[in-house]
Amino acid sequence: MQPSSGSRPRDAWATNAGFLLAAVGSAVGLGNMWRFSYIATQGGGAAFVGIYLLLVAVIGVPVMTSEFIVGRMTQRSPIGALRSLGGPRWVPLGWLFVAGGFGIISYYSVIAGWTMRYAVTALGPGIPADTGVFFGEVATGADALLWHVLFMGITVFIVYGGIKKGIERASLILMPLLFLLLVGLAVWAFTLPESRAAYGAYLDPNLGQVFHRRILTDAAGQAFFSLSLGMGAMMTYASYIQTKHDLAREAVIVSACDFGVAFVAGLVVFPIVFTFGLRDLVGESSVGALFISLPTGFASMGAAGKLVGGGFFLMLFFAALTSSISLLEVVVAAFVDRGWARHRAALVFGLVAALTGVPSAFNTDFLGAVDAIVGNFLLIVGGLLICVFVGYRILPQADGELARGLDSPILRRLWAVLVRYVVPALLLALLFFMLEPTWEAVKTLFTAWM
Ligand code: TRP
């Protein structure tokens, strides 16, 4: 077993609400704000939303419950948790999580840096009318690097503070602000002239489009990324729980909040796109749409656009921040459990994360490729292995841990069946369909450097 951090007691959440908000904060991120609604329009509106919800219920909730169980049961970071429950053979999975954490944070922080830059520009001098040119200046090069490093600095500052005084406190402040901004923006978007038509386009059920392989795999990948699964982030957060709450219920709450935010974000984005005639600008790239199309709309609104645009990108920044702290915490927790001081771990690995982001700050193709490989493929691999671990290696203990809060044997049985059979089968199919795009991304990763 790992040496625990000497005589220092392990940090923990002060309240259950703090844990829930932090977990929702991890889940709600850049993935919710644009990608969800973007895929929804490609994939048949309300019919897509239905399928997505189904995937969240069938795949997301059981996997999140499993991560919660392992974390709370062991009170350790994923590496220590897997070692104590599964023996040394399972330790590499913990390292895969740590590597995945670095992988995601490396490019996630670059995009988060853009959102900061946009928020500051919108509230200050105003975003220039030619948003395409502006994005070109902001997205790569020394500027991108600077804001990426700044964002990492803020992330480190919060993680440095620990669970109670850092992550929990930040979540208690940032998440309510995020909800307020989101609701305010949704109400404002409702008043836009084209909002009815936009809701129609967003939500018109089109069953014909949903059952395309591409849409289904996109939806499943999106659900996984959006719920922060497959990388030990939820496991790590749950390792700081000391109450007997029903973990399945908490997984439902977190998933529902995550879905709710994604859904409402669509109600913000679509009316803007429709009202300002940006439909043609929303090209193939979802990132381009977010950072080029929407600001065009804001810019055409004059003074009001400053406020709305500033609020919008501030909201994205808060969403990104509460997600990136969970990514860094996975890495930091692993080393705190091995006896490192938290301060040192936060600083050292924050610096490492900032360095691993350098290629993404200089090349958006590279950024996209890392997202496809780590943000999609690797997470599914991680999720599959978590299911195998929980469903086949430690099922009786895991069931016992779940039973501390969930009395119903029927629901626990349902969870076990999902984790043992249904989810692994679905994830295997998904991995198979992802092989080709992932291979393409691997090639891009190398050519981006040539
Ligand atoms: N869920 C976040 C989003 O939607 C991203 C994220 C944070 C994440 N932590 C994670 C994704 C852990 C996978 C694993 O933007």
Residue whose CA is at the smallest distance from ligand 1 atom 9 = 228
Range of the domain at 370: 16-449
Model confidence pLDDT, tens digit, residues 138-197: 999 999 999 999 999 999 999 999 999 999 999 999 999 999 999 999 999 999 988 999
Question: Is the residue at 5 inside a domain?
Answer: no
pLDDT value of residue 216: 82
236 lines ligand 1 (CB under 6 A): no
Q: CATH number, domain at 365?
A: 1.20.1740
Model confidence pLDDT, tens digit, residues 82-124: 999 999 999 999 999 999 999 999 999 999 999 999 999 999 9
Residue whose CA is at the smallest distance from ligand 1 atom 12 = 228
Question: Is the residue at 254 inside a domain?
Answer: yes
Residue whose CA is at the smallest distance from ligand 1 atom 3 = 29
Question: Is the residue at 368 inside a domain?
Answer: yes
Model confidence pLDDT, tens digit, residues 19-73: 999 999 999 999 998 788 777 777 777 888 888 999 999 999 999 999 999 999 9
The band of 285, judged by pLDDT with boundaries at 50, 70 and 90, is: low
**DSSP-assigned letter for residue 193:** T
Question: Is the residue at 431 inside a domain?
Answer: yes
Residue whose CA is at the smallest distance from ligand 1 atom 6 = 228
Question: Is the residue at 6 inside a domain?
Answer: no
Mutate to test the pocket of ligand 1, among 323, 325, 376 (most ligand atoms within 8 A of CB): 323
323 lines ligand 1 (CB under 6 A): yes
364 lines ligand 1 (CB under 6 A): no
pLDDT value of residue 8: 67
Nearest-Å Rg of the Cα atoms of the chain is: 21
Question: Is the residue at 4 inside a domain?
Answer: no
The residue written with tokens 């779940």 in the block is 402
Q: What is the mean pLDDT of residues 193-210?
A: 82
**According to DSSP H, which parts of 161-193 are helical?**
169-190
How many domains does one find in the chain? Answer: 1
225 lines ligand 1 (CB under 6 A): yes
Question: Is the residue at 11 inside a domain?
Answer: no
Which atom of ligand 1 sits closest to the CA of residue 327? 9
Higher per-residue confidence, 279 vs 424: 424
384 lines ligand 1 (CB under 6 A): no
The band of 2, judged by pLDDT with boundaries at 50, 70 and 90, is: very low
Work out the end-to-end distance of the chain between its first and last CA atoms, rounded to an integer number of angstroms.
Answer: 44
pLDDT value of residue 1: 42
Model confidence pLDDT, tens digit, residues 343-396: 999 999 999 999 999 999 999 889 989 999 999 899 999 999 999 999 999 999
Which atom of ligand 1 sits closest to the CA of residue 227? 1
pLDDT over threshold 80, residue 6? no
CA 377 – ligand 1 centroid, Å:
14
pLDDT value of residue 296: 85
**Residues whose CB falls within 8 Å of the CB of residue 388, separated by 6 or more in sequence, listed in order:** 424
Model confidence pLDDT, tens digit, residues 37-51: 777 777 777 888 888
pLDDT over threshold 50, residue 4? no
The model carries a pTM of: 0.94
Question: Is the residue at 8 inside a domain?
Answer: no
pLDDT, the chain, mean: 92
Distances (CA, A) of 155 to 42, 125, 132, 280: 33, 26, 28, 36
30 lines ligand 1 (CB under 6 A): yes
Q: Which amino acid is at 211?
A: F
